[in-house]
Amino acid sequence: MNLQGLLPQLVLEAIGWAKAQALYVARSGKPLTERGLALARQVGVKNPELVRLLYVDQLPVPVKQLALRQMILEEKLFEGRAGLTLGHSIMIVHGEGDSRLVSHELRHVHQYEALGGIEGFMPRYLAEIDSFGYDEAPLEVDARAHEVSWPMDSWA
């Protein structure tokens, strides 16, 4: 799917959807444990006390945001994925919260902080997905480069 012509609409839909999901996780999720705070600091998160983690059965797909939903489904962006970060809010699929995944998602939190939140992150992220593909998108490459392997623990 060539996103170039759709990017303005996708960005608007993604920002609105991400803000709603982030608010839900902020209200329903749990703060990081001391071990989770240490992991967040290690990967560059400036405000780890703001992070909330929510375990879910599956990652949510937009319903009302039709262009965004179509892009996610066509590009299979959530297929095989077990984590999703939206600002300081992280969703992890039950049973998938190892340190590698959590550190990856926490690096995305760092990126949101560095880029000015959801409004700064989403346009860049979607443009990178369009230009490079998911696996080679620079923000994803950076998150993978900051994955760490710690013994299993409780993060939130």
* Parallel, antiparallel or unpaired: strands 52-56 and 89-93: parallel
Alpha carbon of residue 131 to chain centroid: 19
Give the number of domains in the chain: 1
Residue 41 lies in a domain: yes
- pLDDT bucket at 88, cuts 50 / 70 / 90: very high
Residue 151 lies in a domain: no
Q: How many CB atoms lie within 10 A of CB 149?
A: 8
Alpha carbon of residue 132 to chain centroid: 18
Residue 154 lies in a domain: no
- Condensed to tens digits (0 to 9), the pLDDT of residues 10-33 reads 899 999 999 999 999 999 999 999
Residue 130 lies in a domain: yes
Range of the domain at 84: 4-145
- Condensed to tens digits (0 to 9), the pLDDT of residues 121-141 reads 999 999 998 899 889 999 999
- Condensed to tens digits (0 to 9), the pLDDT of residues 40-85 reads 999 999 999 999 999 999 999 888 887 788 888 887 777 888 999 9
Residue 155 lies in a domain: no
Where would I find the beta strands (DSSP E) of the chain? 30-31, 52-56, 83-86, 89-93
What are the beta bridge partners of residue 45? none
- pLDDT bucket at 151, cuts 50 / 70 / 90: confident
- Give pLDDT, residue 14: 92
